[in-house]
Amino acid sequence: MGTLLAMMPGRVVVNGNPYRIVHYMPIECRDRPTTLREARKHDRRAAIVAVARRSFLEEGYAATSMSGLLRTLGGSKATLWGYFPSKEALFGAVIADVTAAFRRQVMDELDAPGELDATLVNFCRSFMNKTGHADAVAIWRLVMAESGRFPEVGRIFYDHAAGHIERALATYIAQQIAARRLRDDGALDMARVLIGMTAAQQNRRLWGVEPAGGAGMDADARRFVGYFLRLFAVGPRAE
């Protein structure tokens, strides 16, 4: 691997080129390094992911290769392959890196005590806000453009991002079903209904007909939750 000439919060410089690092580790890898050796390995892995992140977002999945990344990073194949045995594994790490903060925020919001409708509104608002971020839009466009030729792209995106969000929301909905606040129409299917409504704003942004951070985001979130509760709520909310 190339010499790390500088390490600063949020940025790493590899062979003279700056790369941004997101300091939210994937949910499954959040333990902090406990030794100097582990810290160095973590830094090397972060540098590889940062370089790959730029390449995937700017060049696309097909145009990014392990050999091309190695030319940017420097060092040996053994080092790169020691961290990531395939391009698919590296792409998964990039997706996890891009979406880590979002996934963590979703888990925190769904775990926080609060009323059903307020929790769902917070979820929808966060979903629309985070999926409107430039990197999220770039990843979504990449997945839509290349998953037809490379089915692994869609699978990796689902495994490392969309699937996490679906399962987290479905778990929360299952708890509300058990508490008799929602009807049981299948927690995962119900989660997909709410996510499908909130994803509509993402589609409008991708089509270029709505700017990021639309002023009506809060109203949209409340409206979508209102639709959801009219479909599935038990008691007065269903009226």
Q: Which residues contact 11 (CB under 8 A, 6 or more apart)?
A: 18, 19, 20, 21
Percent of the chain with pLDDT over 70: 81
Q: Which residue has the higher pLDDT, 25 or 57?
A: 57
Q: How confident is the model at residue 215 (pLDDT cuts 50, 70, 90)?
A: low
CATH, residue 123 = 1.10.357.10
Q: How many CB atoms lie within 10 A of CB 27?
A: 15
pLDDT at 98 over 90: no
Last-in-domain residue among 87, 119, 138: 87
Considering the domain architecture, whether residues 119 and 231 belong to the same structural domain is answered as yes
How many domains, in total, are found in the chain?
2
pLDDT at 212 over 70: no
Please tell me the distance from the alpha carbon of residue 238 to that of residue 153, in angstroms, as a whole number.
Answer: 39
CB–CB of 170/195 below 8 Å? no
Question: Would you say residue 121 lies in a domain?
Answer: yes
Considering the domain architecture, whether residues 113 and 212 belong to the same structural domain is answered as yes
Q: DSSP 3-state assignment of 19?
A: strand
Mean pLDDT of 140-157: 90
β-pairing verdict for 4-8 and 17-20? unpaired
Mean pLDDT of 171-188: 97
CA dihedral 149, 150, 153, 154 (to 10 degrees): 60
Give the pLDDT confidence score for residue 137 in this predicted structure: 82
Question: Would you say residue 160 lies in a domain?
Answer: yes
Give the pLDDT confidence score for residue 19 in this predicted structure: 45
Please tell me the distance from the alpha carbon of residue 179 to that of residue 166, in angstroms, as a whole number.
Answer: 20
Question: Would you say residue 93 lies in a domain?
Answer: no
Mean pLDDT of 166-192: 97
Last-in-domain residue among 87, 107, 131: 87
From first CA to last CA, the distance across the chain in angstroms is 62
Token pair 């333990």: residue: 31
Considering the domain architecture, whether residues 36 and 106 belong to the same structural domain is answered as no
CA dihedral 223, 225, 227, 229 (to 10 degrees): -150
CB–CB of 119/179 below 8 Å? no
Tell me the average pLDDT of the chain: 82
- Per DSSP, helices labelled H in the chain are 36-59, 66-73, 77-83, 87-111, 116-131, 134-146, 151-157, 163-178, 187-206, 217-232
Give the pLDDT confidence score for residue 36 in this predicted structure: 82
